[in-house]
Homo-oligomer: A and B are copies of this chain.
């Protein structure tokens, strides 16, 4: 039933990321523990059915590429390896998950496997108005009957304009435009753009950008960009420099680009020339440069804890071997009554399907939809910065896990593969699966005669997506009592804001500084506040696909009971009040944990007449995971309409498979998938939710 779109989030003053191009890491230094442990050796084991959600196999990729290049000349494709940004080329090729209505007969009855299709993402550069388009190809394997057709989303479109200029093109343009102002850069930032310059006190400068595109303007294709200068470093996001340029990059021809504005130390300038002139005037206020004198280095051995050289910390071992079973070919796992399939996609990373507990399905699907980081700040960059991280490929960025650190050395490590730009992109060790034992028992009780106590061992399926400065750790956890939990952790470097000493005056003459948006973590660096809101889809099927949602309120109340004496009556007490949720909508975690959200099948009761159900809770983290603080975000527009509440309940529809599209960020005013359009007051009592 129940599709629960759950937001797992944290408000923190700690993180961010950046749109740098990434390449797969093949030479990671594995900090493997010095204790040699027995590797997990899975028992040979076969899934009951094929994994119909699995990504394309190598032969499928080959045949679809052949089909596209050879049999579909109207696509005008250039081989991705040779294609320029002015040609059409394949960006991504992956499997398209079957509709639930097609998969259920195969899973539950003797039905045949659902028809298999591929999704092809094409960079359509051979146009004055370049776009990125999704196509559906199939059925697979390719036969006479196979065809390609546009894959249309909620807004009726399969394409979105591709506005971002090439990163290399932009850097080249900027270098060229700034050439005659090298003295200004050296004067203000202590460095030229030329790393070989003897005046360079920082290593080298790099550019970051924040795009503005809105449907509200007369020319909806108009693209403006605020850029910020960072010092080049592994910790570049800690090293912003207080120098910002606004560009108009609407044209495909970079010679038509325009520099619109310049921002330095709390003031706006209409050109670099204006700033250059101002800087020559006596009394011009300069901000201090953000110099990396080593403070942004990873490890500070000099002030390391004295105990660092002592005996190693405790470590988990598994001397008896694994107790879970994995069919690696079908990506199928069984552990202590749980069974599930898993798969990955380039944008959305891992998803789990057909999760069963004690032989009964409890979830059809559980997976990441989108990860939003929304900033605020007192400078042109952070004040409007929003990152929608599936755009960068959170599956593609699932880099190798570190054995013995991310996961125990005895874990099972699984590789994932994607077809990116017609090449096989392999991420070894990108998923790990392991059992772990908590530092507290599942239950315990001391009686006068004995102690009853049970180890709390659980199963973890983990991956880490590193998106620029930011590492998201995703954990799907299974507990012996039937609980399934999704945990998200954020690590890496924070995306900081440059701190201008001078106060800045806005149009309305209100003085603001970065103090209103974070705490200083260095003389000229602020820890730029931001919300992370991370959306998951959970398609619960409890008992059957016909499910209902109720909210059970734990309410204070006043009651008169016949057994109470006059002085005690009426009594202030509490009770349960069950409120059926009858229409699609968004809900928040209750105040004082005073309500419980429960999904059940009204017709499936246990031996004592209670409805069988699963409760949806915020998860075991720090406090209540919040939803987006910003109301009606100016920058996000319609791109993240799932972010305003903690929990959404919708009717399951084959036509509404995802709450977001990884290219929503490119046109937030009219995104490919607008989640708000799914929430259309449909009745949700005893439906497939």
Residue A567 interfacial (CB < 8 Å): yes
A110 CB to closest chain B CB (Å) equals 27
Which of A120-128, A139-147, A437-445, A534-542 makes up part of the contact surface? A437-445
* CB contact under 8 A between A440 and B489, given known A212-B568, A572-B632, A622-B619: yes
Q: Which of A28-36, A99-107, A149-157 is the interface stretch?
A: A28-36
A632 vs chain B, min Cβ distance (A): 5
Q: Does A674 contact B (CB under 8 A)?
A: no
Q: Is the CB of B631 within 8 A of A623?
A: no
Provide the bound-state CA to CA distance between A622 and B609, in Å. 27
Judged by a CB distance under 8 angstroms, whether A424 is at the interface is no
| A359 on interface, CB distance cutoff 8 Å | no
The listed residue with most B CB atoms (<10 A of its CB), out of A23, A384, A573, is: A573
With a CB–CB cut-off of 8 A, which chain B residues contact A317? 314-317
Interface check A44, CB cutoff 8 A = no
SS class of chain A's interface: helix, strand, loop or mixed? loop
The reply to whether B573 and A376 contact each other, CB–CB distance below 8 Å, is: yes
A529 and B577 CA atoms in complex are apart in Å by: 12
Which of A405, A568, A619, A623 counts the most B-chain CB atoms under 10 A from its CB? A623
Stretch at the interface among A340-348, A543-551, A557-565: A557-565
When chains A and B are docked, how far (Å) is the Cα of A626 from the Cα of B590?
10
State whether the Cβ of A610 lies closer than 8 Å to any Cβ in chain B.
yes
Q: Which of these, B299, B312, B316, B608, contacts A523 with CB under 8 Å? A: B608
**Cβ contacts under 8 Å, A25 to chain B:** 446, 448
| CB of A71 closer than 8 Å to a CB of B | no
* Contact across chains for B623 and A622 when beta carbons are under 8 A apart: no
Does A271 lie at the interface of the complex (its beta carbon under 8 Å from any beta carbon of B)? no
Using known A-B contacts A323-B307, A437-B315, A506-B561, determine if residue A28 contacts B576 with beta carbons closer than 8 Å.
no
A457 within 8 A of B: yes
A447 & B561 in contact (Cβ 8 Å cutoff) = no
Question: Do residues B314 and A318 form an inter-chain contact, with CB atoms below 8 A?
Answer: yes
Q: How many copies does the complex hold?
A: 2
Answer yes or no: A380 CB below 8 A from chain B CBs: yes
Of all chain B residues, the one with the shortest Cβ separation from A519 is: B610
State whether A506 touches B559 (Cβ < 8 A). Answer: yes
Residues on the B chain within 8 Å of A555, using CB: 629
Residues of B within 8 A of A281 (CB): none
Partner of A439, one of B11, B460, B491, B625: B460
Q: A512-B559, A568-B214, A568-B634 are in contact. Are A592 and B629 (CB under 8 A)?
A: yes
Chain B residues with Cβ below 8 Å from A507 are 560-562, 569
Given the interface pairs A571-B384, A592-B588, the reply to whether A451 lies near B561 with Cβ below 8 Å is no
The answer to whether A68 has its CB under 8 Å from any CB of chain B is no
A232 smallest CB distance to B (angstroms)? 12
Indicate if the CB atoms of A572 and B441 lie closer than 8 Å.
no
Residue A310 contacts which of B246, B312, B323 (CB distance < 8 angstroms)? Answer: B323
Shortest Cβ distance from residue A66 to the other chain B in the assembled complex, whole angstroms: 33
A629 cross-chain contacts in B, Cβ below 8 A:
554-556, 574, 592, 594
User: CB of A313 within 8 A of chain B?
Assistant: yes
Residues of B within 8 A of A244 (CB): 563
Interface centre among A313, A454, A567, A632 (most CB of B within 10 A): A313
Contacts A317-B314, A560-B507: A224 and B516 contacting too (C-beta < 8 A)?
A: no
Contact of A464 among B379, B446, B493, B517 (CB under 8 A): B446
How near does chain B come to A235, taking the closest CB pair, in angstroms?
9
With A28-B446, A446-B25, A516-B576 as given contacts, are A455 and B313 in contact (CB-CB < 8 Å)? Answer: yes
Which of B452, B518, B560, B630 lies in contact with A573, CB distance below 8 A?
B630
**A 642-683 contacts with B by CB, 8 A:** 646
Q: Mark A451-483, 1 if CB is under 8 A from B, else 0.
A: 111110100100010100101010100001000
Verify if A305 is at the interface (C-beta below 8 Å from B).
yes
